[in-house]
Structure 1
């Protein structure tokens, strides 16, 4: 009887872990898609991955909505030529996911020479109609 109870408890724990892992994987996939979309600066991809209510905070204090964020990338006013993410954590709570990671990359903003960036990033994603979309992002400079 005790073994049966332990087996059932173990299986229920694994099923619950699997369900969350599926959402965590989907969020990780969305983060990768936006990383690629930011480098590629394709308006359609950026629109698909972000909310019309997006709040996008830069490490210098600049805040953008969805339109300004996409315009800056498409116009190459803000241009990433390389983005590497590390130390990523994802926490899912219902239809909201919080993502933290370090971003190391190169920018080529406003036609200036490439400049390296080292940022900490906090993102908030929301699951809408089965799709994870970015609703908030804040970056800060790493030491």
Structure 2
């Protein structure tokens, strides 16, 4: 009887554990997706017309910002390059955006097409971007970004 009860208890415990894992892994996109999209749009605007305050509110202190050429920025270097014109976006158009949110982390993918004027030199860029946003309190912060040039 004890063995049968132990087996039954183990089965219930296993089922509850698996159910809990399934619940935690369920996407929260429908609930949080619009607020992530708003944060991503605020970042797009702030990259065109940068201020330290606007950018500082949107990016995490631990930011790892990977460029398509291989360079990786921190929060300080990302904001600094936008403020001093080393990285200067004249226009940014975002297309093909998708957002998936799970447990307070959002994965945002899109295509970024932009006119630039980096260090006073006009240019154009089209890249694929993966952004990882983390919910901190009621705010979404960009924690990591990686860009690649389409093949």
TM-score normalised to the size of structure 2?
0.80
Could you tell me which residue of structure 2 aligns to residue 70 of structure 1? 79
Distance, in Å, in 1 between the alignment partners of 2:129 and 2:136 is 22
4+ residue stretches of structure 1 with deviation over 3 A?
Answer: none
SS at match of 2:90: strand
Distance, in Å, in 1 between the alignment partners of 2:103 and 2:142 is 15
Distance, in Å, in 2 between the alignment partners of 1:122 and 1:90 is 10
Could you tell me which residue of structure 2 aligns to residue 51 of structure 1? 60
TM-aligned CA deviation for residue 130 of structure 1: 1.1
Pairwise mapping of residues 6-45 of structure 1 onto structure 2 (< 5 A)? 20-45=29-54
Could you tell me which residue of structure 2 aligns to residue 107 of structure 1? 116
Matched, 1:120 2:148: no
2:110–2:130 CA contact under 8 A, matched in 1: yes
Q: Deviations over 1:46-92 (max 9, x none)?
A: 00000000000111101010000000000011000000000000010
SS at match of 2:119: helix
Higher CA-based Rg: 2
TM-aligned CA deviation for residue 22 of structure 1: 2.8
Distance, in Å, in 2 between the alignment partners of 1:111 and 1:70 is 17
The gaps in structure 1 that reach 5 residues or longer are 1-15
The gaps in structure 2 that reach 5 residues or longer are 1-25
Could you tell me which residue of structure 2 aligns to residue 10 of structure 1? none
Matched, 1:137 2:145: yes
SS at match of 1:108: strand
Could you tell me which residue of structure 2 aligns to residue 12 of structure 1? none
- Pairwise CA RMSD: 1.4
